Amino acid sequence: MFQDFTNKVVIVTGASQGIGAGVAKQFAKNEAKVVLVARTLQKLEPVRNEIGAVCNAEMFLCPADVSRMDEIVALRDQVLQQYGTVDVIVNCAGVTMKKQIVDMSVEEWDTVIDTNLKSVFMMAKVFGRDLFRDSGTDAGKFIAIGSVGSTLSIPSSGAYCASKGGLVQLVKVLANEWAESRVHVNAICPGYIATPLSDGVLNVPGVMKRVISRIPVGAIGSVDDIAHATLFLSSQEANYITGTCLPVDGGFTSAAYTTHN
């Protein structure tokens, strides 16, 4: 059982679908006030309705492009005006671009790096001091979603792997810089999780079987698998954990091969 997140203000980026929507739902079910962020308001509204159908949590929809500094600054203004504080930030927004390096344009490279990596730097820069805590209050939490591509190479995903590898290093430096201010910073590195993003990869004939054969537990993960790990790292029970990257991948990155190849 995780701590009660009652009255905690939790910002989740990339909350309009997939992992971010699943993370937002679990925080809402645990009584947090959840700020749902993605670029498109029309995609955030059905998520709020779906969550609202299963719990009474307070939700605040804030459309913003997290690859843009001006929109993150505007997001901070809205959140502080609404709640006056922030306790947890979960950086889920991400994109991929399946192209070999020689075929990738500079603009495509920039889009992936700006969305997956620079956004986390800018969220940290803009919101960092709002998360700082004194010794009498619960620790602040800053979480970023990496990938198996943080440590492994994935062909045709050069920008994606570079962004996710950089994200893990950024998390370690932030954790070090913010430890004295009682903000804990961690990454979660999901394996293959069923979402719109992974659909394009997994729905190619034969790929699903090949991928599953490489996963020791023999199954694709769910958004709840990532959400549960996120809630744990965001809880006060995880206060001695900072600067780490938690793989949530069914054993994928720990295995040379599986028993069910």
Q: What three-state secondary structure class fits 108?
A: helix
The encoded tokens of residue 234 equal 């965001």
Using the rule CB under 6 A, is 192 a contact of ligand NAP?
yes
- Report the alpha-carbon distance of residue 109 to residue 66 in Å, rounded: 16
How many helices (H) does the chain have, and how many strands (E)?
A: 9, 7
Nearer to ligand NAP by C-beta: 220 or 238? 220
Residue from 30, 157, 198, 230 in contact with ligand NAP (CB under 6 A): 198
- Report the alpha-carbon distance of residue 168 to residue 171 in Å, rounded: 5
- Minimum Å distance from CB 177 to ligand NAP? 22
Tell me how crowded residue 57 is: count the other CB atoms within 10 A of its CB: 21
* 160 catalytic per annotation: yes
Using the rule CB under 6 A, is 166 a contact of ligand NAP?
no
Using the rule CB under 6 A, is 158 a contact of ligand NAP?
no
| C-beta of residue 48 within 8 angstroms of C-beta of residue 40 | no
Subset of 63-92 contacting ligand NAP (CB under 6 A): 65-67, 92
Query: Considering all CA atoms of the chain, what is the largest pairwise distance in Å, rounded to the nearest integer?
Result: 55
In what helix (H) or strand (E) does residue 33 lie, and over which residues does it extend? strand 33-38
Using the rule CB under 6 A, is 165 a contact of ligand NAP?
no
The encoded tokens of residue 46 equal 């059905």
Using the rule CB under 6 A, is 115 a contact of ligand NAP?
yes
- Minimum Å distance from CB 121 to ligand NAP? 14
- Minimum Å distance from CB 7 to ligand NAP? 25
| C-beta of residue 72 within 8 angstroms of C-beta of residue 46 | no
Place of tokens 């719990």: 55
Binding mask 9-48 for ligand NAP (x = CB under 6 A): ----xxxxxxxx-----------------xxx--x-----
Using the rule CB under 6 A, is 95 a contact of ligand NAP?
yes
Using the rule CB under 6 A, is 214 a contact of ligand NAP?
no
Applying CB under 6 A, the residues found at the interface with ligand NAP are: 13-20, 38-40, 43, 65-67, 92-95, 115-116, 145, 147, 190, 192-193, 195-198
List the catalytic residues.
160
